Amino acid sequence: MKINLKINGQSRQFLIEPNEYLLDVLRRNDYLSVRRGCDNTSCGVCTVLIDNKPVPSCSVLAARCENKEITTVEGIETEVEKLAKYFGELGADQCGYCNPSMALTVYSLKLENRNANIEEVKEYLVGNLCRCTGYVAQHEAIMKYLGDES
């Protein structure tokens, strides 16, 4: 079957199987910043935005995304540069595997609640696991990013 998606502002059409998940379709078509982790919604590394809401692409059937707007980390480049600056300054980054998904979730939080406090940040990011950092520096970097009005 065919589906039409808008990915990072570009209209794309893909041939898919009815049981294919969005993660598989995206990776098969070279959107490799969308990572595969647990494949069961626990880790959050497969996060993409559908109509600006973060979802686990490993568990969304691609067929249900007809005409939806999909955003991967490449679609929010300017925001990612800002966030990366704070991640770098605060040493919030190690292996980087979870970074694209985390950036998308943080961007979505910014759209939803720019004035989020640290507890709200922690709560919003509970579905994004990072096995390297221990989160403290990440949360600090995210608070700085949310406060950055440039």
**Among residues 1 and 91, whose Cβ is nearest to another protein?**
1
Using alpha carbons, list the distances in angstroms from residue 63 to 25, 27, 28, 58, 120.
Answer: 10, 15, 15, 13, 33
Residue with tokens 């973060």: 54
User: Smallest gap, in angstroms, from Cβ of residue 137 to another protein?
Assistant: 20
**Among residues 50 and 84, whose Cβ is nearest to another protein?**
50
User: Smallest gap, in angstroms, from Cβ of residue 122 to another protein?
Assistant: 10
User: What does the alpha-carbon distance between residue 82 and residue 148 come to, in Å, rounded to a whole number?
Assistant: 8
Q: Find the angle CA(23)-CA(127)-CA(123) to the nearest 5 degrees.
A: 150
User: Smallest gap, in angstroms, from Cβ of residue 54 to another protein?
Assistant: 5
Which residues here bind another protein, judged by CB under 8 A?
1, 17-19, 21, 40-42, 44, 47, 50, 53-56, 58-61, 63-64, 105, 108, 123-128
